[in-house]
């Protein structure tokens, strides 16, 4: 049996939560390995809807959830999320949630710096959530981060806060923002310690034991390949690596144990925030896709930009993300459209490209080259087998497979967890 890593193949918001939730029923452990509470997964379970940002989706299925060292953790956001799901009847405690002891923490000063920078950028702002994820990752790389394990050592914590405040208060003052006092931060963190430390452990040991025991591990990615800090539409990206290789480094397990890589893609495209989006639609069809797909960010609440499926972009994500199979979601949103378009390449000036270029100017200039397909009059919503799909819908899925050079191994036809067509079991490798 293989482990499985789930990553987004577009710009996020592809419906990873539903797919991870569906797969988690057959996993033993679900691991978040990168990102922070700037990502969100919506899970519909019967009449209950769970909106998760930091908690691994597996906790909804009664599985052990692990937050790996590659995640930046906002303690207050995590505790608030735990309280929210507890009010919905889902108990979260050390029995079903463990956090890497070396996970970096997001502090209020990180969010303050994030917002101050965005304000200073003006019209050139990136479109961050303002939650401090980027500054927290900067501190990790600069070796000044406060980590979860530091809460157990008050003297270490106090000394590290001195260095942290020297850096951040200088920046905040230069941006005209309010600075922070060490005493208040230290008191707050020491007050949080008894609530957080019971969850802390060297999770790499637990994962190694699970692997040796033949347990199934599901690695749950946040955001998507085109938001990867190296491979995405830089600088309009997140601050972490979102590709499947990060599942290993972000949780403390060898790369050979990551297993089957399942990429999630919508049957069309969406994006939240600023940045290039070659297939974006500004017409009634774009509005229709947004309305039908309920395209609002789980975390931001912002209306998502909508456009046609971009096969060039997804093919690139397949290659750099290590994707072995695709889960295609929201096929039902395309029901009834007279025609459907798919971008197969880009035109930049007189040049035709079959990849998205790295340079920001070239990305902004990329114009899609479309292939037009006939739509289908019937409904795909709720379909649970190929026989339930209109013939033209099947043809559309098969064409996507050809263009992105990866098989569609799972098809989601509604937000309900059981409205799923499985062609290949990812856990079988």
Token readout for 42 is 């919506």
Catalytic residue, from 21, 37, 41, 310: name it. Answer: 41
Q: Is 13 a catalytic residue?
A: yes
pLDDT means over runs of 10, the chain (429 residues): 91 85 89 89 76 88 94 96 92 96 97 90 79 94 97 97 95 93 96 98 97 95 94 93 96 94 96 91 94 77 88 97 96 95 96 94 95 94 91 96 96 84 87
Q: Which fold has domain 108-196?
A: Adenylosuccinate Synthetase, subunit A; domain 2 (1.10.300)
Domain 265-428 coded CATH 3.90.170.10: yes
Architecture, CATH, for domain 4-103+197-260: 3-Layer(aba) Sandwich (3.40)
Determine the pLDDT at residue 301. 63
Q: E-strand spans in 107-242?
A: 200-201, 217-220
Distances (CA, A) of 423 to 131, 263, 271, 386: 39, 14, 28, 9
pTM of the model: 0.93
Per-residue b or e along 263-281, where b marks 16 or more CB atoms closer than 10 Å to that residue's CB: bbbbbbbbbbbbbbbbbbb
HSE, side-chain direction, 13 A CA sphere, residue 293: 31
* Domain residue spans of the chain: 4-103+197-260, 108-196, 265-428
């Amino acid at each position: 049996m293989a482990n499985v890593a789930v990553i987004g193949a577009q710009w996020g918001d592809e419906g990873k939560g539903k797919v991870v939730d569906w797969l988690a029923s057959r996993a033993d452990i679900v691991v978040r390995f990168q990102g922070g509470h700037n990502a969100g997964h919506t899970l519909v379970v019967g009449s209950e809807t769970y909106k998760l940002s930091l908690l691994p989706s597996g906790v909804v299925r009664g599985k052990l959830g692990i937050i790996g060292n590659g995640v930046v953790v906002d303690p207050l956001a995590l505790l608030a999320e735990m309280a929210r799901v507890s009010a919905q009847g889902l108990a979260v405690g050390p029995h079903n949630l463990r956090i890497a002891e070396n996970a970096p923490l997001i502090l209020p000063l990180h969010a303050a710096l994030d917002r101050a920078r965005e304000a200073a950028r003006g019209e050139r702002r990136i479109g961050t959530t303002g939650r401090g994820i980027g500054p927290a990752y900067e501190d990790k790389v600069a070796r000044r981060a406060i980590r979860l394990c530091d809460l157990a050592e008050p003297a270490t914590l106090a000394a590290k806060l001195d260095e942290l405040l020297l850096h951040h208060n200088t920046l905040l003052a230069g941006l005209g923002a309010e600075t922070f006092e060490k005493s208040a931060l230290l008191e707050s963190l020491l007050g949080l310690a008894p609530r957080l430390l019971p969850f802390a452990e060297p999770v790499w040991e637990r994962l190694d034991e699970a692997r040796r025991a033949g347990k199934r591990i599901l690695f749950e990615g946040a955001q998507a390949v085109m938001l990867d800090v190296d491979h995405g539409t830089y600088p309009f990206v997140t601050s972490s690596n979102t590709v499947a290789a990060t599942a290993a480094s972000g949780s403390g397990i060898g790369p050979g144990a990551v297993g089957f890589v399942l990429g999630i893609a919508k049957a069309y495209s969406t994006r939240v925030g600023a940045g290039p989006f070659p297939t974006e639609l500004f017409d009634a069809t774009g509005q229709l896709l947004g309305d039908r797909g309920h395209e609002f960010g789980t975390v931001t609440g912002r209306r998502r930009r909508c456009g046609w499926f971009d096969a060039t972009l997804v093919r690139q994500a397949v290659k750099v993300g290590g994707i072995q199979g695709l889960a295609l979601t929201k096929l039902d949103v395309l029901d009834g459209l007279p025609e459907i378009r798919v971008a197969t390449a880009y035109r930049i000036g007189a040049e035709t490209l079959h990849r998205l270029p790295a340079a920001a100017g070239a990305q902004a200039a990329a114009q899609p080259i479309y292939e037009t397909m006939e739509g289908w009059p019937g409904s795909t919503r709720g379909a649970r087998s190929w026989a339930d799909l209109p013939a033209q819908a099947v043809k559309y899925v098969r064409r996507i497979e050809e263009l992105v050079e990866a098989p569609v191994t799972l098809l989601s036809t509604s937000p309900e967890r059981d409205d799923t067509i499985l062609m290949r079991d990812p856990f079988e490798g």
